[in-house]
């Protein structure tokens, strides 16, 4: 009997050894990993002076107009506004990488190291489109440095660790897995986010996302207000491409083509006589742009750029941006049932020429918005992708004084439907200064009205 039991146990142990390693693999040693990585992670606190017109009754048109009449001419009051974020040291001489929105508009930036020492930081460079900022602090001793990994090698399901300063709780460690790669959430033209279920909260912005080898593979950037357990990080490879430029020039120089593109849906592909959906459909060509000079037309379907296939619309902006200004490249387009090759000289991206909303449009309400992408529509369970998502709120603006949050969705302004960000901007250009606007907003499952005054 004992011999039979022994043979049974031996067989079970042998069988276990041949099972897939993931079944019996233990979790990484997070304790040792956190101890090793925390010294290179910093807390960032900023302050700035903002002005506000007082007194106000926040959205009540009667009282707003009343007080505007009787308190007209009073200077706006000023106050100090502070915010918190995270970052990580990338050079022993004191270079620190963080999100641009963490330090945007700040007139004072304080960095606190893991050992408790405080430093005043200066901004070496910014890249608002990728939401990155490079800071610098001076210290006599060499500082601990976070090692940068290769985010292209990251796989869905891998363990990751986030370290940061959520809600001012310094050196907070959370763990999770890579939920997905290549997410497009409407944050900007170069969306390519890592999605993770590691807990990311306000204050984590700018902090590192590590793999189990102790390498930074992402920069924690965004959360979806409507979703719990969903956070996003900028792939470190995208940041690595611009760090040198930020050190040298303080800004990032990107290539520019001069087209607006949209996804090629199954219905559109069918209407063009195409069996596949890969490519980007040109909906607009900017006059006198590189694309215009090269002969691109509205309705062309871009299939490849500089020899690289365009599998989906969002590939194109990243490809063009990464191309050196002045380079001559060949683009393959599908036009009138035929394949056409066009040679284009890549220009330099200028935000105003490229169609970014003007300062007046952005500041009338203080909102930065983006289209609702199919991915965001699906994750929020929306019936359509009409409307816009708030991705930024300017300090000291009407929106900053309102109940609006980043991640809120806007569907109407004064009863007029908002189909996309272009419609939103067009409506704003027709709004008179001082006019009170009624907005239909969705936050999580709640739909509500709020008001804003155009400034």
DSSP 289-301: SHHHHHT--TT-E
- HSE-CB of 309 using CA atoms within 13 angstroms: 4
| pLDDT of 103 over the 60 cut | yes
Active site positions, annotated: 101, 131, 205
Please tell me the predicted confidence (pLDDT) of residue 209: 97
Q: Where are the domains of the chain?
A: 20-251, 255-348, 359-453
| pLDDT of 53 over the 60 cut | no
Strands (E) in 99-140, as ranges, are 108-112, 118-120, 122-127, 132-136
Please tell me the predicted confidence (pLDDT) of residue 359: 33
- What integer is the mean pLDDT of 182-200? 84
| pLDDT of 163 over the 90 cut | yes
Provide the pLDDT confidence category of residue 13 given band limits of 50, 70 and 90: low
SS3 68: helix
Q: When comparing pLDDT for 68 and 406, which is higher? A: 406
- Find the helix or strand (DSSP H, E) in which 37 lies: helix 30-37
Residues 6 or more apart in contact with residue 299 via CB below 8 angstroms: 281, 282, 335
User: Do the two domains 20-251 and 255-348 of this chain adopt the same fold?
Assistant: no
Length of the chain: 455
| pLDDT of 15 over the 70 cut | no
Residue 34 phi, psi dihedral angles, 5° rounding: -65, -45
| pLDDT of 263 over the 50 cut | yes
Q: Which two tokens stand for residue 312?
A: 């989906």
Asked: is 20-251 a CATH 3.20.20.70 domain? The reply is: no
Q: What is d(CA 216, CA 41) in angstroms, rounded to the nearest whole number? A: 11
Sign of the CA dihedral with 411 first, then 412, 413, and 419 last: positive
Q: When comparing pLDDT for 344 and 185, which is higher? A: 344
Closest CA to 402 of 452, 449, 454, 443: 452
Residues 6 or more apart in contact with residue 189 via CB below 8 angstroms: 129, 317, 321
| pLDDT of 200 over the 60 cut | yes
Torsion of CA 375, 379, 381, 383, to 10 degrees: -10
Please tell me the predicted confidence (pLDDT) of residue 10: 55
Q: When comparing pLDDT for 67 and 262, which is higher? A: 262
Q: What is d(CA 31, CA 351) in angstroms, rounded to the nearest whole number? A: 45
**Angle of CA points 313, 319, 321, to nearest 5°:** 110
Q: Please answer whether residues 291 and 257 qualify as being in contact, where contact means their C-beta atoms are separated by less than 8 angstroms.
A: yes
Tell me the CATH number of domain 359-453, given options 2.30.42.10, 2.60.40.1180, 1.10.10.60, 1.10.10.1100: 2.30.42.10
Could you count the other beta carbons within 10 Å of the beta carbon of residue 246?
A: 22
Asked: is 255-348 a CATH 2.30.42.10 domain? The reply is: yes
Q: When comparing pLDDT for 267 and 55, which is higher? A: 267
Strand pairing of 328-335 and 301-305? antiparallel
Average pLDDT, the chain: 82
| pLDDT of 11 over the 70 cut | no
- What integer is the mean pLDDT of 234-240? 94
**Percent of the chain whose predicted confidence (pLDDT) is above 70:** 80
- pLDDT tens figures, 23-48: 445 678 999 999 999 999 999 999 87
Least confident span in 206-210, 287-291, 434-438: 434-438
| pLDDT of 402 over the 70 cut | yes
């Amino acid at each position: 009997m004992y011999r039979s039991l022994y043979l049974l146990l031996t067989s079970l142990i042998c069988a276990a050894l041949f099972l897939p390693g993931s079944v019996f693999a233990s979790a990484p040693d997070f304790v040792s990993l956190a101890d090793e990585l925390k010294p290179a992670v910093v807390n960032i606190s900023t302050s700035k002076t903002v002005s506000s017109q007082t007194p106000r009754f926040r959205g009540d048109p009667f009282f707003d107009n009343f007080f505007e009449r009787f308190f007209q001419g009073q200077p706006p009051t000023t106050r100090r506004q502070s915010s918190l974020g995270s970052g990580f040291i990338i050079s022993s001489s004191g270079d620190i990488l963080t999100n641009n929105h963490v330090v945007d508009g700040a007139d004072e930036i304080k960095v606190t190291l893991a050992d408790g020492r405080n430093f005043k930081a200066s901004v070496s460079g910014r890249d608002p489109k990728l939401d990155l900022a490079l800071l610098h602090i001076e210290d006599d001793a060499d500082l601990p440095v976070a090692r940068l990994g290769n985010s292209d090698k990251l796989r869905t399901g891998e363990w990751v660790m986030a370290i940061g300063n959520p809600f001012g709780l310094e050196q907070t460690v959370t763990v999770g897995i890579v939920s997905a790669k290549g997410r497009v959430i409407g944050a900007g033209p170069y969306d390519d986010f890592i999605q993770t279920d590691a807990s990311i909260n306000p204050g984590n912005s700018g902090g590192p996302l590590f793999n189990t080898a102790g390498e930074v593979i992402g920069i924690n950037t965004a959360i979806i207000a409507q979703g719990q357990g969903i956070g996003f990080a900028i792939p470190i490879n995208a940041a690595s491409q611009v760090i040198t430029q930020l050190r040298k020039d303080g800004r990032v120089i990107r290539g520019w083509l001069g087209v607006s593109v949209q996804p090629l849906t199954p219905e559109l592909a069918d209407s063009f006589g195409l069996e596949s959906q890969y490519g980007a459909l040109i909906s607009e060509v900017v006059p006198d742009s590189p694309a215009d000079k090269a002969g691109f037309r509205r309705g062309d379907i871009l299939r490849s750029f500089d020899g690289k296939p365009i599998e989906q619309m969002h590939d194109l902006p990243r490809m063009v941006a990464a191309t050196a200004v002045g380079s001559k490249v060949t683009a393959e387009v599908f036009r009138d049932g035929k394949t056409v090759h066009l040679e284009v000289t890549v220009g330099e991206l200028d935000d105003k020429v490229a169609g970014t909303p003007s300062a007046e449009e952005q500041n009338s309400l203080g909102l930065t918005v983006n289209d609702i992408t199919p991915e965001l529509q699906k994750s929020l369970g929306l019936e359509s992708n009409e409307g816009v998502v708030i991705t930024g709120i300017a300090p000291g603006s009407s929106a900053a004084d309102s109940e609006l949050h980043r991640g809120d969705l806007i569907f109407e302004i004064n009863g007029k439907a908002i189909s996309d960000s272009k419609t939103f901007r067009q409506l704003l250009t027709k709004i008179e200064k001082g006019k009170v606007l009624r907005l239909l907003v969705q936050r999580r499952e709640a739909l509500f009205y709020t008001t804003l005054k155009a400034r």
